[in-house]
Structure 1
Amino acid sequence: MNDTRRTRAVLGVLIVAALVLITVDYRGGENSPLRGLRDVGAAVFGPVERASAAVVRPVGNAFDAITDAPDQRRRAERLERENQRLREQVRANALDAGRSKQLDQLLHTAGIGGYKIVAAQVISAGQGFEDTVTLDVGSSSGIRRDMTVMSAAGLVGRVTRVGPATATVLLATDAASSVGARLEDSKEIGIVQGRGRRGLGDGGSTPIKFQLLDANAPLRVGQRLVTLGSQGDSPYVPGVPIGTVERIDRPEGGLSRAAMVRPFVRFTSLDVVAVVVAPPKSDPRDAVLPPRPAPPPTAAPSPGASGTPAPHRQQGKKQKAKRKTEG
């Protein structure tokens, strides 16, 4: 089509006419005089519009998906990071609650014994031949070598190496560990020795050995041990619970007696512990030991059992004696 003055005039007239028709139809609303023309246009152009939309829509959706893909990916990554953060927060809250309970128990135990402590957390376990763990406290917290380490349950070991922010603890289960110990009732003394990793071969129930110095001293299963204490309270302070005698080995011509001891501490699940930075003013003796479990209730003897005769039997005997007297 040639761009002439006439074509421009026709185009302008058509545009003006279209605007007039749109205005009249809009102002008329439902009563518009052009309603019939609008319905005819919808009937004619509606199928064409739907067909073109069916062709164009998938292309538009694909284009939108391509353009929105980076935003969707970033949104998914952000949501994944948020979910991970929330999961870690839930786990941390559960761990904090458990550690808070352990710390309360630890402070209670230290208070009974009169120990001044610095609380610590086990952050790693030794991978070599020694039974050791690493704590998250060091010289900056007042920790020194040859200090006693305990948990709420009892003796853990002693500090062997100290750094500015960490400390290494030799566990009481190590084969090189020797601790002076005392029985709670008889006050007999002896040496508790670790058995190393081989002590875990029976499930970890008896990983330490107690050697009684006096072969004739009384020793029985169920007796409990506490630390005897070292000279100058280093490396072991007195009165820290160690464990319970589980089995007694009969001596074979030896000068001492030995027993296998079940520790109070679970060395495979150490978490919150304490380093004793100052000993008690006096030996707590057996005060830190946990209370003994109550004995199981015994059944009352049934009536008529050996001992006290049943009432009806006593009455029968009296009646027989009375008849004999009357006869």
Structure 2
Amino acid sequence: MRDTRESRLLLVLLVAIAFALITVDIRGGEQSPLDGARRGAASVFGPVQEGVATAVDPVGNAVSAIRESGDRHDRVKELEQEVMALKREAGSEDGNRARARQLDKLLKTSGAGGYGVKPAEVIAIGATQGFSWTVTIDAGTEDGLKRDMTVLNGDGLVGRITTAGPSTSTVLLANDPDFTVGTRMEGNRELGFATGRGGNAMNVQLLNGKTNVKKGDRLVTFGSHEGKPFVPGVPVGTVTEVERQGGDLTRTLRVRPFVGFTKLDVVGVVVEGPRENPRDKVLTPEPPKSEKKPKPTPTVTVTATPGAPPPTGVQ
């Protein structure tokens, strides 16, 4: 429709009619003259409204489902967090029990050797100060620790302190290639020097090449009562292989350490050496070798038939 004078007059007329109808409807109260028109419009447009409502309801239902799904998702997340918290709590309890067992074992070892120890916990592992096998413990000079002090756990020799700070210290592990400690064989007390090979292995070079050594023999540290550089009697490891060198002047042993260096947790730093050399006392007693009992000779019972000759070899 063009914007002409006639179209503008028509628009004004329609607006006036609309206002008039509204006025009549309001003044008519409950019996409005427009009720009939309203019912007619309802009969015509009602089905259309129902169709539109039917089409729109799935959307509303989907929105409600999404909201409910979101609520369920939030609840699932809450339950997952509760489960994780319970797992952490259970893991913490298991960890505390494991540490208690390690501490108890450490105290038994230190008691057997007469060592005064400061318990500590490994809080970091990694290369520091150019060393490839080191750990950091949560004790330092404020706890009376100093450089070169012996570090052990319930199984045996862990290493020695290389750097001591106020509250933490760095420990060079016994399996580090730069690590060296004097050793003594169990029983014959032959001396040697152990060095780390990385991983879970060490080499021991015996000073006496003619020493009678076999697989399964054990070694402890050879040190001084003052603990410089190591305290004596700390279990080192078990011989796994014996190698000979030219002239039998020396003998090299392959040794498996008693300590598992990849799973260190609770350790003890020897702050006071023993009053006397414990020698082999710290080593756990070896289980007695079981003796094989001779198998009993089976007994054969032969029943003779009356009147029949006796079996051959039976009187």
| Aligned-partner SS, 2:246 | coil
Is 1:240 matched with 2:234?
A: yes
Q: For residues 141 and 187 of structure 1, what CA distance do their matches in structure 2 show? A: 34
| Aligned-partner SS, 2:29 | helix
Tell me: CA distance 1:53–1:293, structure 2 relative to 1, closer, same or farther (3 Å): farther
Kindly provide the CA deviation profile for residues 55-92 of structure 1, in whole angstroms up to 9, marking residues without a partner as x.
44334345557888987776666555444444433433
Conserved 8 A contact 1:147-1:277: yes
Counting only pairs closer than 5 Å after superposition, residues 269-280 of structure 1 correspond to structure 2 as: 269-280=263-274
| Aligned-partner SS, 2:226 | helix
Kindly provide the CA deviation profile for residues 264-323 of structure 1, in whole angstroms up to 9, marking residues without a partner as x.
11222222221112222222221211120231340315449xxxxx9x9xxxxxxxxxxx
Moved more, 52-61 or 246-255: 52-61
Aligned-pair CA distance for 1:209:
1.8
Q: For residues 50 and 236 of structure 1, what CA distance do their matches in structure 2 show? A: 94
Aligned position for 2:99: 99
Is 1:108 matched with 2:108?
A: yes
Unaligned runs of 5+ in 2: 1-17, 33-45, 302-315
Aligned position for 1:255: 249
Q: For residues 203 and 86 of structure 2, what CA distance do their matches in structure 1 show? A: 46
Tell me: CA distance 1:62–1:113, structure 2 relative to 1, closer, same or farther (3 Å): same
Conserved 8 A contact 1:239-1:285: yes
Greater helix content: 1
User: Which letter maps to 1:281?
Assistant: R
Conserved 8 A contact 2:225-2:276: no
Q: For residues 87 and 54 of structure 2, what CA distance do their matches in structure 1 show? A: 45
Conserved 8 A contact 1:189-1:213: yes
Superposition RMSD on alpha carbons, in Å? Answer: 3.7
Normalised to the residue count of structure 2, the TM-score between the two structures is: 0.71
Q: Percent same amino acid at aligned positions?
A: 43
Kindly provide the CA deviation profile for residues 179-200 of structure 1, in whole angstroms up to 9, marking residues without a partner as x.
12112212222222223x3xx4
Tell me: CA distance 1:277–1:52, structure 2 relative to 1, closer, same or farther (3 Å): same
Conserved 8 A contact 1:223-1:244: yes
Conserved 8 A contact 2:225-2:273: no
Aligned-pair CA distance for 1:53:
5.0
User: Which letter maps to 1:119?
Assistant: P
Q: For residues 186 and 214 of structure 1, what CA distance do their matches in structure 2 show? A: 11
User: Which letter maps to 2:209?
Assistant: A
Is 1:168 matched with 2:162?
A: no
Instruction: Choose which of 137, 146, 151 in structure 1 pairs with 2:139.
Output: 137
Q: For residues 231 and 285 of structure 1, what CA distance do their matches in structure 2 show? A: 11
Normalised to the residue count of structure 1, the TM-score between the two structures is: 0.68
Aligned position for 2:223: 229
Conserved 8 A contact 1:116-1:279: yes
Conserved 8 A contact 1:180-1:230: no
Q: For residues 288 and 174 of structure 1, what CA distance do their matches in structure 2 show? A: 23
Kindly provide the CA deviation profile for residues 229-271 of structure 1, in whole angstroms up to 9, marking residues without a partner as x.
1362122111111112222222421533332222111222222
Instruction: Choose which of 153, 157, 160 in structure 2 pairs with 1:158.
Output: 160
Q: For residues 48 and 114 of structure 2, what CA distance do their matches in structure 1 show? A: 93
Q: For residues 133 and 222 of structure 1, what CA distance do their matches in structure 2 show? A: 29
Q: For residues 105 and 49 of structure 1, what CA distance do their matches in structure 2 show? A: 83
Aligned residues between the structures: 269
Tell me: CA distance 1:219–1:95, structure 2 relative to 1, closer, same or farther (3 Å): same
Tell me: CA distance 1:233–1:65, structure 2 relative to 1, closer, same or farther (3 Å): same
Unaligned runs of 5+ in 1: 15-45, 305-309, 313-327
Is 1:189 matched with 2:191?
A: yes
Aligned position for 2:181: 179
Conserved 8 A contact 2:184-2:222: yes
Kindly provide the CA deviation profile for residues 12-65 of structure 1, in whole angstroms up to 9, marking residues without a partner as x.
479xxxxxxxxxxxxxxxxxxxxxxxxxxxxxxx99997565344334345557
| Aligned-partner SS, 1:111 | helix
